[in-house]
Structures are given as C-alpha cells and as structure tokens.
Amino acid sequence: MMQQQEIIKKINQLLIEEIEIDESQLSPTAELKKDLGIDSLDFVDLFVIIENNFGFKMKSEEMADVKTLQDFYNYIYKRIQTN
C-alpha cells in the first residue's frame, strides 16, 4: 500500500513530466485550474495517467470538490485505500 508521501511525490512527478507543470508551482494550496492552468484537455490526460499509474478509473463527478492540489492528493489517496 502506498503511503501518502509516496503518492504526493508520484503525482507531482506525473504533473511535471506529463502535464508540463513547473515544479515551483506545485504547492498543496495551488488551485488546479487557476494556479496550475490545468484545462479540460489536461484533465482528460490526467485521468488516463492516473488510471495507468494507480490502477483505478477517475470519475469526473468525483472531481467536483477537487479544487487544490491537496484536494487532488487526498482524492487519489482515498481512492487507493478503497480499491
């Protein structure tokens, strides 16, 4: 079972490599859309990337409350726990 720190590190790595977000922007309070500039096309990519790396399908309706990077970490962590 992955620990939360491992998950955070992995997600950050994926955001940097796959979505091309600058590492300096990755703070837990950063808003995915406003601060990181993740748009709907990036989210589609992100869903595939998460599925390939963490082994579960993300659902867009579950992302409604996910605003910040910390929300995103928490969401992934919870999903891994319940998989």
pLDDT in tens, 21-74: 999 999 999 999 999 999 999 999 999 999 999 999 998 898 889 999 999 999
Note the pLDDT of residue 52: 96
Question: How many CB atoms neighbour CB 42 within 10 A?
Answer: 19
Report CA-CA distances (Å) from 34 to 30, 52, 67, 83.
Answer: 8, 26, 9, 30
Note the pLDDT of residue 4: 92
Query: pTM for this structure?
Result: 0.93
Note the pLDDT of residue 59: 86
CB burial readout 5-35, b (16+ within 10 A) else e: eebbeebeebbeeebebeeeebeeebebeeb
Q: What domains sit in the chain, N to C, each tagged with a CATH number? A: 4-14+30-82 (1.10.1200.10)
Note the pLDDT of residue 25: 97
Note the pLDDT of residue 60: 85
